A = this chain, B = another copy of it.
Amino acid sequence: MKATITDVAKRAGVSMKTVSRVLNNEPNVAEKTRERVKAIALELRYSPNLAARGLATSKSYLVALMYDNPSPNYIAHMQRGAIDACREVGYHLVVEPLSLGSAKTQDEKAQAIRTVLDQLPVDGVILTPPLCDSATVLETLSELRIDCVRVAPKNGGLQPFVAMDDEAAAYQMTQYLIQQGHKRIGFVKGHVGHSATVWRYQGYMKAMEEAGVEASPKIVAQGDFSFESGATAARDLLSLDAKERPTAIFASNDDMAAAIFSVAGQFGIDVPRELSVCGFDDTPLAQVIFPALTTVRQPIYKMGYEAARQLVASKKVGLEPEQILDFEIMIRDSVASPAS
């Protein structure tokens, strides 16, 4: 039914091995032979049987994307990027959610990973936050001798990673707000313990300090990335006296920014005329609220792409163990100059 390597070999009048060499781009095949075999393979619509190949090479031509519950948006884009990179070299992507609830012991975590990976011996795994920051996960993978690439990890380490510069993004966004003429720029922090929380806040502070604008603690609120926490923060910030009340608020993510919209509406404050708001992440939400939200777009697709590429690229190619990707400031309609 389906063509095998033997069919191609017979037709081309060469040995299986030679066909195999051509298919794998190995050297030491006469150019003429190579062309002929390629043509015939195409004609027969031959494509190698991954199981057989895997058995012979003890490789699986599979890459796993492991994640523990990030947002649908995040994982969908990431996986799309990873898949595209895989396809370029004949790999496929399997997705493996892993629930490492905090209740579990380290041993149980390691066991969970083993269970998944023992069955399916993938050639590499992509680790997204928070998995990429778990020492247990990293150790287990290294015991299993499985390559991995981490996405946006908290800190560097032995394994390669791809990330974006959250601090620089927050810095630029804050600068943009300042350029628009804002002086009292509020900030809503993210979830304590999440690395991005710190970076984003630092970027904000840096821009404020450099511009000589005071970032009074009064206008910096603690959030936790949830809509609810954003609403609470917004109520605090917007209850301030007219003299103190911020003319712009920079939320550490889009959900909280959306909450600020809602609260502003309840307070009868018009966005962006009386209050500018910006967020972080560029979730789909950003474009389905009014006014459209100015926010930071993370290169999620690209991170997935690069992570997978590191894993599947032939080892000869020089790859950087640490890749910092560019973000993009999406300027939309939620920021305006302050009413003077």
User: In the complex, are the beta carbons of B94 and A94 less than 8 A apart?
Assistant: yes
- By the criterion CB–CB under 8 Å, are B72 and A76 in contact? yes
Minimal Cβ-Cβ distance residue in B for A111: B45
Question: Hey, what's the 0/1 contact readout for A1-15 against B, CB within 8 Å counting as 1?
Answer: 010000000000000
A176 within 8 A of B: no
Which residues of chain B come closer than 8 Å to A97, judged between CB atoms?
80, 83
- Is A121 in the interface zone, CB < 8 Å from B? yes
For the residues of A in contact with B, the DSSP-based class is helix
Chain B residues within 8 Å of A90, by CB: 119
Assess the B92–A120 pair: CB atoms within 8 A: yes
Residues of B contacting A119 with CB < 8 Å?
A: 47-48, 50, 90, 92
With A96-B83, A119-B90 as contacts: A287 and B50 at CB distance below 8 Å: no
- The verdict on A265 contacting chain B, using a C-beta distance below 8 Å, is yes
Tell me the chain A residues, 63-100 only, with Cβ under 8 Å from chain B.
71-73, 75-77, 79-80, 83, 90, 92-97
Q: Contacts of A77 on B, CB cut-off 8 Å?
A: 72
| Number of copies of this protein chain within its complex | 2
Size category of the A interface is 35 or more
In the complex, the answer to whether A49 meets B45 with C-beta atoms within 8 Å is no
- B-side contacts of A52, CB under 8 Å: 51, 55
Closest chain B residue, CB of each to CB of A255: B288
| Residues in B whose Cβ lies below 8 Å from that of A157 | none
Q: Is the CB of B120 within 8 A of A50?
A: yes
Residue of B nearest to A117 (CB): B47
Interface contact A45-B118, CB-CB below 8 Å: yes
Beyond A51-B55, A72-B284, A265-B265, 9 additional contacts (C-beta under 8 Å) are A2-B118, A45-B114, A50-B119, A51-B58, A62-B94, A72-B76, A72-B77, A92-B119, A285-B285
Partner of A51, one of B48, B51, B71: B51
Interface pairs (17), CB distance under 8 Å: A45-B114, A49-B55, A49-B121, A50-B51, A51-B51, A51-B60, A52-B55, A72-B284, A80-B97, A83-B95, A83-B97, A93-B95, A94-B95, A231-B290, A255-B288, A259-B290, A261-B290
